[in-house]
Chain A
Amino acid sequence: MAVVLGRLKAFSGLAPFAVYAFVFLGLPVIAIVVGAFTDPATGEFTLGNIQVAASGIYLQGYVTSIELSIVTAVVPGIIGLVVAHVVQTSGSSALRRVVSTASGVFANFGGVQLAFLFIASLGSSGLVVGWLKALGFDPYDHGFSLYTFVGIAIVYMYFQIPLMILVITPALEGLKPAWREAADNLGASGWQYWRMVGGPVLVPSFLGSVLLLFGGAFSAYATTQALTSGSLAITPIQIGGFLNGNVLSGQENVGKALGLGMIVIIAVVMVFYSVLQRRASKWLR
Protein backbone atom coordinates (compact mmCIF):
# COMPACT_ATOMS: atom_id res chain seq x y z
CA MET A 1 0.00 0.00 0.00
CA ALA A 2 2.71 2.43 1.00
CA VAL A 3 4.59 1.54 -2.19
CA VAL A 4 1.55 2.30 -4.31
CA LEU A 5 1.02 5.61 -2.54
CA GLY A 6 4.68 6.45 -3.06
CA ARG A 7 4.35 5.69 -6.77
CA LEU A 8 1.24 7.82 -7.03
CA LYS A 9 3.03 10.65 -5.29
CA ALA A 10 5.97 10.32 -7.65
CA PHE A 11 3.64 10.49 -10.66
CA SER A 12 1.78 13.50 -9.28
CA GLY A 13 4.71 15.63 -10.41
CA LEU A 14 3.67 14.86 -13.95
CA ALA A 15 0.13 16.11 -13.36
CA PRO A 16 0.42 19.67 -14.72
CA PHE A 17 1.95 18.50 -17.99
CA ALA A 18 -0.46 15.57 -18.30
CA VAL A 19 -3.50 17.77 -17.70
CA TYR A 20 -2.30 20.38 -20.20
CA ALA A 21 -1.56 17.81 -22.89
CA PHE A 22 -4.93 16.16 -22.31
CA VAL A 23 -6.93 19.40 -22.46
CA PHE A 24 -5.22 21.04 -25.42
CA LEU A 25 -4.19 18.01 -27.46
CA GLY A 26 -6.19 15.02 -26.22
CA LEU A 27 -9.66 16.61 -26.09
CA PRO A 28 -9.49 18.12 -29.60
CA VAL A 29 -8.37 14.77 -31.02
CA ILE A 30 -11.19 12.98 -29.17
CA ALA A 31 -13.63 15.55 -30.57
CA ILE A 32 -12.41 14.75 -34.09
CA VAL A 33 -12.72 10.99 -33.63
CA VAL A 34 -16.18 11.27 -32.08
CA GLY A 35 -17.32 13.84 -34.64
CA ALA A 36 -16.14 11.68 -37.52
CA PHE A 37 -18.67 9.02 -36.47
CA THR A 38 -21.53 11.34 -35.51
CA ASP A 39 -24.49 12.36 -37.64
CA PRO A 40 -24.61 16.18 -37.35
CA ALA A 41 -28.42 16.27 -37.60
CA THR A 42 -29.40 13.57 -35.11
CA GLY A 43 -26.22 13.23 -33.04
CA GLU A 44 -26.29 9.49 -33.53
CA PHE A 45 -23.56 7.10 -34.58
CA THR A 46 -23.01 6.88 -38.33
CA LEU A 47 -20.46 5.75 -40.87
CA GLY A 48 -21.86 8.24 -43.37
CA ASN A 49 -19.13 10.88 -42.81
CA ILE A 50 -16.42 8.31 -43.40
CA GLN A 51 -18.18 7.11 -46.55
CA VAL A 52 -18.38 10.65 -47.95
CA ALA A 53 -14.74 11.32 -46.97
CA ALA A 54 -13.64 8.15 -48.76
CA SER A 55 -15.36 8.86 -52.06
CA GLY A 56 -15.65 11.42 -54.84
CA ILE A 57 -13.69 14.67 -54.58
CA TYR A 58 -12.46 13.80 -51.09
CA LEU A 59 -11.00 10.48 -52.20
CA GLN A 60 -9.40 12.38 -55.08
CA GLY A 61 -8.05 14.85 -52.49
CA TYR A 62 -6.32 12.03 -50.63
CA VAL A 63 -4.92 10.66 -53.88
CA THR A 64 -3.51 14.07 -54.88
CA SER A 65 -2.15 14.62 -51.35
CA ILE A 66 -0.43 11.25 -51.30
CA GLU A 67 0.96 11.72 -54.82
CA LEU A 68 2.29 15.16 -53.92
CA SER A 69 3.81 13.82 -50.69
CA ILE A 70 5.46 10.87 -52.44
CA VAL A 71 6.98 13.10 -55.13
CA THR A 72 8.16 15.66 -52.57
CA ALA A 73 9.60 12.94 -50.33
CA VAL A 74 11.35 10.74 -52.91
CA VAL A 75 12.86 13.39 -55.19
CA PRO A 76 14.27 15.60 -52.40
CA GLY A 77 15.22 12.39 -50.61
CA ILE A 78 17.48 11.33 -53.47
CA ILE A 79 18.85 14.83 -54.04
CA GLY A 80 19.50 15.25 -50.31
CA LEU A 81 21.28 11.90 -50.16
CA VAL A 82 23.52 12.82 -53.10
CA VAL A 83 24.35 16.24 -51.66
CA ALA A 84 25.07 14.80 -48.21
CA HIS A 85 27.31 12.15 -49.74
CA VAL A 86 29.15 14.66 -51.91
CA VAL A 87 29.69 16.97 -48.94
CA GLN A 88 30.70 14.18 -46.61
CA THR A 89 33.30 12.71 -48.96
CA SER A 90 34.70 16.09 -49.98
CA GLY A 91 37.06 16.08 -47.01
CA SER A 92 36.46 19.80 -46.48
CA SER A 93 35.31 20.50 -42.94
CA ALA A 94 34.45 24.10 -43.85
CA LEU A 95 32.06 22.90 -46.57
CA ARG A 96 30.55 20.39 -44.18
CA ARG A 97 29.94 23.08 -41.55
CA VAL A 98 28.40 25.54 -44.01
CA VAL A 99 26.06 22.88 -45.43
CA SER A 100 24.94 21.61 -42.04
CA THR A 101 24.26 25.10 -40.68
CA ALA A 102 22.45 26.14 -43.87
CA SER A 103 20.39 22.93 -43.79
CA GLY A 104 19.36 23.56 -40.20
CA VAL A 105 18.17 26.99 -41.19
CA PHE A 106 16.42 26.13 -44.48
CA ALA A 107 14.71 23.01 -43.11
CA ASN A 108 12.90 25.16 -40.54
CA PHE A 109 11.47 27.31 -43.18
CA GLY A 110 8.12 26.92 -44.87
CA GLY A 111 4.78 28.59 -44.78
CA VAL A 112 3.72 31.79 -46.42
CA GLN A 113 7.14 33.44 -46.49
CA LEU A 114 8.40 30.61 -48.69
CA ALA A 115 5.38 31.03 -50.95
CA PHE A 116 6.23 34.70 -51.52
CA LEU A 117 9.86 33.89 -52.25
CA PHE A 118 8.73 31.64 -55.08
CA ILE A 119 6.07 34.02 -56.36
CA ALA A 120 8.93 36.49 -56.84
CA SER A 121 10.98 33.91 -58.78
CA LEU A 122 8.63 31.51 -60.56
CA GLY A 123 5.33 33.40 -60.47
CA SER A 124 3.97 34.57 -63.82
CA SER A 125 5.81 37.89 -63.46
CA GLY A 126 8.68 36.41 -61.44
CA LEU A 127 12.35 37.08 -62.03
CA VAL A 128 13.38 33.63 -63.26
CA VAL A 129 10.41 33.49 -65.60
CA GLY A 130 11.56 36.89 -66.91
CA TRP A 131 15.05 35.50 -67.60
CA LEU A 132 13.58 32.51 -69.45
CA LYS A 133 11.30 34.78 -71.46
CA ALA A 134 14.32 36.89 -72.46
CA LEU A 135 15.85 33.66 -73.76
CA GLY A 136 12.71 33.11 -75.83
CA PHE A 137 11.11 30.46 -73.62
CA ASP A 138 7.99 31.27 -71.66
CA PRO A 139 7.34 28.36 -69.28
CA TYR A 140 3.77 29.55 -68.78
CA ASP A 141 3.19 28.90 -72.52
CA HIS A 142 4.40 25.36 -72.09
CA GLY A 143 2.04 24.17 -69.39
CA PHE A 144 4.09 25.24 -66.37
CA SER A 145 2.49 27.13 -63.54
CA LEU A 146 3.72 27.77 -60.01
CA TYR A 147 0.16 27.37 -58.77
CA THR A 148 -0.24 23.73 -59.79
CA PHE A 149 1.00 20.32 -58.63
CA VAL A 150 4.42 20.69 -60.29
CA GLY A 151 4.91 24.23 -59.00
CA ILE A 152 3.99 23.27 -55.43
CA ALA A 153 6.35 20.28 -55.62
CA ILE A 154 9.24 22.57 -56.61
CA VAL A 155 8.46 24.86 -53.67
CA TYR A 156 8.27 21.98 -51.14
CA MET A 157 11.75 20.82 -52.19
CA TYR A 158 13.09 24.02 -50.67
CA PHE A 159 12.57 22.71 -47.14
CA GLN A 160 12.59 18.97 -47.91
CA ILE A 161 16.13 18.77 -49.37
CA PRO A 162 17.77 20.42 -46.31
CA LEU A 163 15.70 18.24 -43.98
CA MET A 164 16.94 15.15 -45.82
CA ILE A 165 20.55 16.33 -45.57
CA LEU A 166 20.10 16.80 -41.81
CA VAL A 167 18.58 13.38 -41.13
CA ILE A 168 20.70 11.29 -43.52
CA THR A 169 24.12 12.74 -42.67
CA PRO A 170 24.47 10.77 -39.38
CA ALA A 171 23.72 7.57 -41.32
CA LEU A 172 26.39 8.40 -43.92
CA GLU A 173 28.84 9.16 -41.15
CA GLY A 174 28.02 5.74 -39.69
CA LEU A 175 29.43 4.00 -42.76
CA LYS A 176 32.78 2.98 -41.32
CA PRO A 177 35.78 3.70 -43.58
CA ALA A 178 37.04 0.28 -42.48
CA TRP A 179 34.18 -1.40 -44.38
CA ARG A 180 35.16 0.39 -47.54
CA GLU A 181 38.77 -0.55 -47.02
CA ALA A 182 37.85 -4.16 -46.36
CA ALA A 183 35.78 -4.25 -49.56
CA ASP A 184 38.64 -2.68 -51.54
CA ASN A 185 41.07 -5.19 -50.11
CA LEU A 186 38.85 -8.01 -51.23
CA GLY A 187 38.90 -6.53 -54.73
CA ALA A 188 35.39 -5.04 -54.81
CA SER A 189 34.60 -2.28 -57.29
CA GLY A 190 32.92 0.91 -56.11
CA TRP A 191 29.63 -0.33 -57.49
CA GLN A 192 29.98 -3.68 -55.72
CA TYR A 193 30.72 -1.89 -52.45
CA TRP A 194 27.54 0.17 -52.69
CA ARG A 195 25.42 -2.76 -53.86
CA MET A 196 26.58 -5.23 -51.22
CA VAL A 197 27.83 -3.22 -48.21
CA GLY A 198 27.05 0.49 -48.16
CA GLY A 199 23.63 0.22 -49.81
CA PRO A 200 22.10 -2.41 -47.55
CA VAL A 201 23.33 -0.59 -44.45
CA LEU A 202 21.92 2.73 -45.69
CA VAL A 203 18.57 1.46 -46.98
CA PRO A 204 16.69 1.49 -43.63
CA SER A 205 17.96 5.01 -42.83
CA PHE A 206 17.13 6.25 -46.31
CA LEU A 207 13.60 4.81 -46.31
CA GLY A 208 13.01 6.07 -42.77
CA SER A 209 14.10 9.58 -43.75
CA VAL A 210 11.87 9.50 -46.83
CA LEU A 211 8.91 8.57 -44.61
CA LEU A 212 9.71 11.51 -42.36
CA LEU A 213 9.71 13.79 -45.42
CA PHE A 214 6.43 12.24 -46.53
CA GLY A 215 4.82 13.08 -43.18
CA GLY A 216 5.98 16.69 -43.39
CA ALA A 217 4.69 17.18 -46.92
CA PHE A 218 1.41 15.39 -46.20
CA SER A 219 0.43 17.66 -43.30
CA ALA A 220 1.59 20.95 -44.88
CA TYR A 221 -1.17 23.50 -45.43
CA ALA A 222 0.16 27.05 -45.32
CA THR A 223 2.45 27.09 -48.37
CA THR A 224 -0.13 25.56 -50.68
CA GLN A 225 -2.97 27.70 -49.35
CA ALA A 226 -0.93 30.90 -49.78
CA LEU A 227 0.15 29.93 -53.30
CA THR A 228 -3.07 28.56 -54.74
CA SER A 229 -5.74 30.20 -52.53
CA GLY A 230 -7.15 26.71 -52.14
CA SER A 231 -7.46 25.74 -55.81
CA LEU A 232 -5.21 22.68 -55.52
CA ALA A 233 -7.55 20.21 -53.83
CA ILE A 234 -5.32 18.38 -51.38
CA THR A 235 -6.82 17.03 -48.16
CA PRO A 236 -5.50 19.74 -45.77
CA ILE A 237 -6.98 22.43 -48.03
CA GLN A 238 -10.31 20.59 -48.13
CA ILE A 239 -10.34 20.36 -44.32
CA GLY A 240 -9.61 24.08 -44.11
CA GLY A 241 -12.52 24.64 -46.51
CA PHE A 242 -14.91 23.11 -43.97
CA LEU A 243 -13.80 25.66 -41.37
CA ASN A 244 -14.13 28.49 -43.84
CA GLY A 245 -17.80 27.66 -44.13
CA ASN A 246 -18.08 25.97 -47.53
CA VAL A 247 -20.21 23.15 -46.16
CA LEU A 248 -23.25 21.37 -47.56
CA SER A 249 -25.92 20.76 -44.95
CA GLY A 250 -25.58 17.30 -43.46
CA GLN A 251 -21.85 17.22 -44.21
CA GLU A 252 -20.67 19.31 -41.26
CA ASN A 253 -18.69 16.40 -39.84
CA VAL A 254 -17.02 15.26 -43.06
CA GLY A 255 -14.10 17.58 -42.28
CA LYS A 256 -13.52 15.64 -39.06
CA ALA A 257 -13.64 12.34 -40.93
CA LEU A 258 -11.03 13.73 -43.36
CA GLY A 259 -8.89 14.79 -40.39
CA LEU A 260 -9.19 11.37 -38.81
CA GLY A 261 -8.05 9.85 -42.12
CA MET A 262 -4.96 12.10 -42.12
CA ILE A 263 -4.10 11.14 -38.54
CA VAL A 264 -4.42 7.44 -39.37
CA ILE A 265 -2.21 7.76 -42.47
CA ILE A 266 0.51 9.70 -40.62
CA ALA A 267 0.34 7.28 -37.68
CA VAL A 268 0.87 4.31 -40.00
CA VAL A 269 3.79 6.10 -41.68
CA MET A 270 5.33 6.83 -38.27
CA VAL A 271 5.03 3.18 -37.18
CA PHE A 272 6.99 2.13 -40.28
CA TYR A 273 9.42 4.95 -39.57
CA SER A 274 10.16 3.72 -36.05
CA VAL A 275 10.59 0.13 -37.27
CA LEU A 276 13.09 1.34 -39.89
CA GLN A 277 14.85 3.50 -37.30
CA ARG A 278 15.36 0.47 -35.10
CA ARG A 279 16.75 -1.46 -38.07
CA ALA A 280 19.04 1.43 -38.97
CA SER A 281 20.39 1.84 -35.46
CA LYS A 282 21.76 -1.72 -35.56
CA TRP A 283 24.67 -0.55 -37.69
CA LEU A 284 24.96 3.08 -36.72
CA ARG A 285 26.58 3.27 -33.34
Chain B
Amino acid sequence: MVAVADVGVVVRPRVPRGPSTGSLTRWIVLLLVGAYFLIPLYAAAAFAMETPDGGVSADVFAGIPSQEGFADAFGLSVNLALVTIVITLALMIPTAVYVHLRLPRVQRLFEGITLLPIVIPPVVLIVGVLQVAPGSLKGTPYLLALEYAVLAMPFAYRSLDSGLRALSLKTLVEASTSLGGGWFTTLFRVLLPNLRSAVLSATILTIALVLGEYTMASLDQYETFPVWMVVFSQDDAHVSVAVSLLSLVVVWLLLLGISLIDRRRGRTTTGEP
Protein backbone atom coordinates (compact mmCIF):
# COMPACT_ATOMS: atom_id res chain seq x y z
CA MET B 1 0.00 0.00 0.00
CA VAL B 2 2.76 2.35 0.97
CA ALA B 3 4.67 1.45 -2.18
CA VAL B 4 1.69 2.33 -4.39
CA ALA B 5 1.26 5.68 -2.71
CA ASP B 6 4.93 6.41 -3.26
CA VAL B 7 4.68 5.72 -6.95
CA GLY B 8 1.72 8.05 -7.13
CA VAL B 9 3.57 11.01 -5.63
CA VAL B 10 6.68 10.45 -7.70
CA VAL B 11 4.73 10.54 -10.92
CA ARG B 12 2.75 13.68 -10.15
CA PRO B 13 5.44 16.35 -10.62
CA ARG B 14 6.10 15.25 -14.19
CA VAL B 15 3.04 17.10 -15.44
CA PRO B 16 3.82 20.52 -17.00
CA ARG B 17 4.90 23.13 -14.51
CA GLY B 18 1.82 25.28 -14.22
CA PRO B 19 0.56 28.25 -16.18
CA SER B 20 3.47 30.66 -15.55
CA THR B 21 5.66 29.01 -18.17
CA GLY B 22 2.93 28.03 -20.59
CA SER B 23 4.15 27.62 -24.13
CA LEU B 24 2.27 30.68 -25.42
CA THR B 25 3.96 32.96 -22.85
CA ARG B 26 7.27 31.34 -23.72
CA TRP B 27 6.95 32.09 -27.40
CA ILE B 28 5.83 35.66 -26.79
CA VAL B 29 8.89 36.28 -24.58
CA LEU B 30 11.27 34.73 -27.09
CA LEU B 31 9.67 36.58 -30.00
CA LEU B 32 9.92 39.99 -28.32
CA VAL B 33 13.51 39.50 -27.20
CA GLY B 34 14.47 38.03 -30.58
CA ALA B 35 12.98 41.08 -32.32
CA TYR B 36 14.96 43.43 -30.07
CA PHE B 37 18.18 41.68 -31.06
CA LEU B 38 17.54 41.12 -34.75
CA ILE B 39 15.85 44.38 -35.82
CA PRO B 40 18.96 46.58 -35.26
CA LEU B 41 20.99 44.15 -37.37
CA TYR B 42 18.44 44.24 -40.16
CA ALA B 43 18.13 48.02 -39.84
CA ALA B 44 21.89 48.46 -40.09
CA ALA B 45 22.07 46.31 -43.21
CA ALA B 46 19.16 48.16 -44.83
CA PHE B 47 20.55 51.57 -43.80
CA ALA B 48 24.01 50.77 -45.16
CA MET B 49 22.75 49.50 -48.51
CA GLU B 50 20.26 52.31 -49.10
CA THR B 51 21.18 54.40 -52.15
CA PRO B 52 20.32 58.11 -52.56
CA ASP B 53 17.72 57.31 -55.24
CA GLY B 54 15.88 54.93 -52.92
CA GLY B 55 17.30 51.70 -54.29
CA VAL B 56 19.30 48.97 -52.62
CA SER B 57 22.92 48.18 -53.41
CA ALA B 58 25.69 46.24 -51.72
CA ASP B 59 28.37 48.41 -53.34
CA VAL B 60 28.96 50.21 -50.07
CA PHE B 61 30.66 47.10 -48.66
CA ALA B 62 32.97 46.76 -51.64
CA GLY B 63 33.91 50.43 -51.35
CA ILE B 64 35.06 50.24 -47.72
CA PRO B 65 38.77 49.48 -48.33
CA SER B 66 39.17 52.51 -50.56
CA GLN B 67 37.63 54.96 -48.09
CA GLU B 68 39.94 57.73 -47.00
CA GLY B 69 41.92 56.77 -43.89
CA PHE B 70 40.53 53.24 -43.67
CA ALA B 71 43.72 51.43 -44.69
CA ASP B 72 45.89 53.36 -42.19
CA ALA B 73 43.46 52.96 -39.31
CA PHE B 74 42.81 49.28 -39.93
CA GLY B 75 46.52 48.61 -40.42
CA LEU B 76 47.31 50.31 -37.12
CA SER B 77 44.67 48.27 -35.29
CA VAL B 78 45.96 45.01 -36.77
CA ASN B 79 49.53 45.90 -35.72
CA LEU B 80 48.35 46.76 -32.22
CA ALA B 81 46.48 43.45 -32.06
CA LEU B 82 49.60 41.51 -33.08
CA VAL B 83 51.82 43.25 -30.51
CA THR B 84 49.17 42.81 -27.80
CA ILE B 85 48.87 39.10 -28.55
CA VAL B 86 52.65 38.58 -28.37
CA ILE B 87 52.90 40.42 -25.04
CA THR B 88 49.84 38.70 -23.56
CA LEU B 89 50.90 35.18 -24.49
CA ALA B 90 54.58 35.68 -23.58
CA LEU B 91 53.55 37.00 -20.19
CA MET B 92 50.54 34.89 -19.29
CA ILE B 93 51.42 31.38 -20.52
CA PRO B 94 54.68 30.90 -18.57
CA THR B 95 53.24 32.59 -15.49
CA ALA B 96 50.02 30.57 -15.52
CA VAL B 97 51.93 27.31 -15.99
CA TYR B 98 54.40 28.26 -13.27
CA VAL B 99 51.67 29.13 -10.77
CA HIS B 100 49.72 25.94 -11.45
CA LEU B 101 52.85 23.83 -11.14
CA ARG B 102 54.98 25.40 -8.43
CA LEU B 103 52.83 27.82 -6.48
CA PRO B 104 49.31 26.41 -6.34
CA ARG B 105 48.79 28.35 -3.11
CA VAL B 106 49.13 31.73 -4.80
CA GLN B 107 46.63 30.80 -7.50
CA ARG B 108 43.87 32.86 -5.87
CA LEU B 109 46.17 35.87 -5.51
CA PHE B 110 47.30 35.57 -9.13
CA GLU B 111 43.72 35.30 -10.31
CA GLY B 112 42.82 38.33 -8.18
CA ILE B 113 45.55 40.43 -9.82
CA THR B 114 44.49 39.39 -13.32
CA LEU B 115 40.92 40.44 -12.48
CA LEU B 116 41.95 43.91 -11.26
CA PRO B 117 41.56 45.57 -14.69
CA ILE B 118 37.82 44.93 -14.34
CA VAL B 119 37.73 47.26 -11.34
CA ILE B 120 39.65 50.02 -13.14
CA PRO B 121 37.56 51.46 -16.00
CA PRO B 122 39.66 52.01 -19.16
CA VAL B 123 38.75 55.71 -19.16
CA VAL B 124 40.31 56.03 -15.68
CA LEU B 125 43.32 53.86 -16.50
CA ILE B 126 44.28 55.97 -19.51
CA VAL B 127 44.28 59.11 -17.34
CA GLY B 128 46.87 57.52 -15.06
CA VAL B 129 48.84 56.08 -17.97
CA LEU B 130 49.17 59.44 -19.71
CA GLN B 131 50.26 60.94 -16.39
CA VAL B 132 53.14 58.51 -15.78
CA ALA B 133 54.23 57.50 -19.30
CA PRO B 134 57.49 59.10 -20.43
CA GLY B 135 57.32 61.28 -23.55
CA SER B 136 59.02 58.67 -25.72
CA LEU B 137 56.20 56.19 -25.01
CA LYS B 138 53.46 58.78 -25.40
CA GLY B 139 54.79 59.52 -28.86
CA THR B 140 54.04 56.01 -30.10
CA PRO B 141 50.71 54.22 -30.53
CA TYR B 142 52.31 51.06 -29.14
CA LEU B 143 51.78 52.43 -25.65
CA LEU B 144 48.20 51.33 -26.36
CA ALA B 145 49.31 47.76 -27.02
CA LEU B 146 51.14 47.70 -23.68
CA GLU B 147 47.91 48.72 -21.95
CA TYR B 148 45.68 46.44 -24.07
CA ALA B 149 47.74 43.55 -22.69
CA VAL B 150 46.58 44.67 -19.25
CA LEU B 151 42.93 44.85 -20.39
CA ALA B 152 43.30 41.36 -21.89
CA MET B 153 44.59 39.82 -18.65
CA PRO B 154 41.21 38.78 -17.14
CA PHE B 155 40.03 36.65 -20.03
CA ALA B 156 43.48 35.50 -21.11
CA TYR B 157 43.93 34.14 -17.60
CA ARG B 158 40.52 32.48 -17.64
CA SER B 159 41.13 30.74 -20.96
CA LEU B 160 44.56 29.49 -19.90
CA ASP B 161 43.38 28.51 -16.43
CA SER B 162 40.58 26.32 -17.75
CA GLY B 163 42.99 24.83 -20.31
CA LEU B 164 45.55 24.03 -17.60
CA ARG B 165 42.95 22.56 -15.26
CA ALA B 166 41.96 20.07 -17.96
CA LEU B 167 45.56 18.77 -18.20
CA SER B 168 47.36 16.44 -15.85
CA LEU B 169 50.09 19.05 -15.69
CA LYS B 170 52.32 17.36 -13.17
CA THR B 171 52.43 14.07 -15.06
CA LEU B 172 53.24 15.82 -18.33
CA VAL B 173 56.04 17.87 -16.81
CA GLU B 174 57.50 14.91 -14.92
CA ALA B 175 57.42 12.76 -18.04
CA SER B 176 59.13 15.48 -20.04
CA THR B 177 61.86 16.17 -17.45
CA SER B 178 62.57 12.49 -16.86
CA LEU B 179 63.14 12.16 -20.60
CA GLY B 180 65.70 14.93 -20.31
CA GLY B 181 63.59 17.88 -21.44
CA GLY B 182 64.50 21.27 -20.03
CA TRP B 183 62.07 24.01 -19.02
CA PHE B 184 61.88 25.44 -22.56
CA THR B 185 61.47 22.07 -24.24
CA THR B 186 58.73 21.20 -21.77
CA LEU B 187 56.92 24.48 -22.31
CA PHE B 188 57.15 24.61 -26.10
CA ARG B 189 57.06 20.97 -27.13
CA VAL B 190 54.90 19.40 -24.43
CA LEU B 191 52.62 21.96 -22.82
CA LEU B 192 51.89 24.35 -25.67
CA PRO B 193 50.58 21.67 -28.06
CA ASN B 194 48.26 20.53 -25.27
CA LEU B 195 47.09 24.08 -24.59
CA ARG B 196 46.42 24.87 -28.24
CA SER B 197 42.72 25.54 -27.92
CA ALA B 198 43.11 27.60 -24.74
CA VAL B 199 45.79 29.72 -26.41
CA LEU B 200 43.65 30.08 -29.52
CA SER B 201 40.64 31.29 -27.57
CA ALA B 202 42.77 33.77 -25.59
CA THR B 203 44.15 35.03 -28.91
CA ILE B 204 40.74 35.46 -30.53
CA LEU B 205 39.36 37.33 -27.52
CA THR B 206 42.40 39.62 -27.61
CA ILE B 207 41.84 40.35 -31.31
CA ALA B 208 38.18 41.17 -30.64
CA LEU B 209 39.20 43.46 -27.78
CA VAL B 210 41.83 45.39 -29.74
CA LEU B 211 39.76 45.78 -32.91
CA GLY B 212 36.86 47.21 -30.89
CA GLU B 213 38.68 49.33 -28.30
CA TYR B 214 37.69 52.98 -28.63
CA THR B 215 38.05 54.57 -25.18
CA MET B 216 41.81 54.50 -24.67
CA ALA B 217 42.72 54.96 -28.33
CA SER B 218 40.55 58.05 -28.78
CA LEU B 219 41.76 59.65 -25.53
CA ASP B 220 45.37 58.89 -26.48
CA GLN B 221 44.52 60.53 -29.82
CA TYR B 222 45.52 57.76 -32.19
CA GLU B 223 43.26 56.97 -35.11
CA THR B 224 42.70 53.23 -34.71
CA PHE B 225 39.94 51.41 -36.55
CA PRO B 226 37.05 52.27 -34.15
CA VAL B 227 38.25 55.87 -33.81
CA TRP B 228 38.32 56.20 -37.59
CA MET B 229 34.75 54.89 -37.76
CA VAL B 230 33.47 57.65 -35.49
CA VAL B 231 35.49 60.37 -37.24
CA PHE B 232 34.40 59.17 -40.67
CA SER B 233 30.72 59.02 -39.69
CA GLN B 234 30.68 62.83 -39.81
CA ASP B 235 31.22 62.53 -43.58
CA ASP B 236 29.16 59.48 -44.44
CA ALA B 237 27.11 57.66 -41.83
CA HIS B 238 26.16 54.95 -44.37
CA VAL B 239 29.78 53.85 -44.69
CA SER B 240 30.28 53.85 -40.91
CA VAL B 241 27.19 51.71 -40.41
CA ALA B 242 28.39 49.33 -43.15
CA VAL B 243 31.84 49.07 -41.54
CA SER B 244 30.30 48.45 -38.11
CA LEU B 245 28.14 45.69 -39.45
CA LEU B 246 31.01 44.07 -41.32
CA SER B 247 33.39 44.23 -38.37
CA LEU B 248 30.70 42.80 -36.12
CA VAL B 249 30.13 39.88 -38.42
CA VAL B 250 33.87 39.17 -38.50
CA VAL B 251 34.17 39.34 -34.71
CA TRP B 252 31.05 37.19 -34.32
CA LEU B 253 32.49 34.53 -36.59
CA LEU B 254 35.68 34.52 -34.50
CA LEU B 255 33.70 34.23 -31.28
CA LEU B 256 31.51 31.48 -32.74
CA GLY B 257 34.77 29.74 -33.56
CA ILE B 258 35.73 29.89 -29.88
CA SER B 259 32.46 28.43 -28.69
CA LEU B 260 32.87 25.57 -31.14
CA ILE B 261 36.42 24.98 -29.88
CA ASP B 262 35.15 25.11 -26.30
CA ARG B 263 32.50 22.56 -27.03
CA ARG B 264 35.03 20.22 -28.63
CA ARG B 265 37.34 20.66 -25.68
CA GLY B 266 34.44 20.02 -23.31
CA ARG B 267 33.73 16.77 -25.11
CA THR B 268 37.31 15.52 -25.08
CA THR B 269 37.95 16.34 -21.43
CA THR B 270 34.72 15.11 -19.85
CA GLY B 271 36.14 11.61 -19.58
CA GLU B 272 38.94 12.76 -17.31
CA PRO B 273 38.61 12.65 -13.52
Specify whether A and B are partners: yes
Chain A residues within 8 Å of B, Cβ to Cβ: 10-11, 13-14, 16-17, 20-21, 24-25, 27-32, 35, 79, 82-83, 85-87, 89-90, 101-102, 104-106, 108-114, 116-122, 126-128, 157-158, 161, 177, 180-181, 184-185, 189-190, 215, 218-219, 221-222, 225-226, 236, 239-240, 242-244, 255-256, 259, 262-263, 266-267, 270
Q: State whether B128 touches A225 (Cβ < 8 A).
A: no
By a CB distance below 8 angstroms, the chain A residues around B91 are 16-17, 20
By a CB distance below 8 angstroms, the chain B residues around A21 are 113, 116, 150, 153
Q: In whole Å, how far is A274's beta carbon from the nearest beta carbon of chain B?
A: 10
Chain B residues within 8 Å of A, Cβ to Cβ: 9-10, 12-13, 17-21, 25-26, 29-30, 33, 36-37, 39-44, 46-48, 91-92, 94-95, 98-99, 102-103, 106, 110, 113, 116-132, 146-147, 149-150, 153, 205, 208, 212-215, 218-219, 226, 229-230, 233, 237, 240-241, 243-245, 247-248, 251-252, 255-256, 258-259
Q: State whether B43 touches A128 (Cβ < 8 A).
A: yes
Q: State whether A185 touches B129 (Cβ < 8 A).
A: no
Q: State whether A112 touches B230 (Cβ < 8 A).
A: yes
CA distance A119 to B226 in the complex (A): 16
Q: State whether A117 touches B121 (Cβ < 8 A).
A: no
| Overall SS of chain B's interface | helix
By a CB distance below 8 angstroms, the chain B residues around A255 are 127
CA distance A256 to B247 in the complex (A): 34
* A244 in complex: contacting residue of B98, B99, B213, B219, CB < 8 Å: B219
CA distance A127 to B40 in the complex (A): 9
Take A17-B91, A104-B255 as given contacts and tell me if A25 and B120 are in contact as well, using a CB distance cutoff of 8 Å: yes
Query: Between A and B, how many residue pairs show CB distances below 8 Å?
Result: 233
Q: State whether B123 touches A240 (Cβ < 8 A).
A: yes
Take A24-B147, A236-B121 as given contacts and tell me if A85 and B21 are in contact as well, using a CB distance cutoff of 8 Å: yes
9 A-B contact pairs sorted by A residue (CB < 8 Å): A17-B91, A105-B259, A112-B229, A116-B237, A121-B43, A181-B10, A184-B13, A239-B123, A243-B126
* B33 in complex: contacting residue of A29, A126, A161, CB < 8 Å: A161
Q: State whether A111 touches B33 (Cβ < 8 A).
A: no
* B124 in complex: contacting residue of A113, A128, A239, CB < 8 Å: A239
CB closest chain-B residue, reference A104: B259
* A120 in complex: contacting residue of B127, B208, B229, B241, CB < 8 Å: B241
* A117 in complex: contacting residue of B9, B44, B130, B259, CB < 8 Å: B44
CA distance A256 to B130 in the complex (A): 11
CA distance A182 to B85 in the complex (A): 52
CA distance A187 to B132 in the complex (A): 66
CA distance A163 to B132 in the complex (A): 34
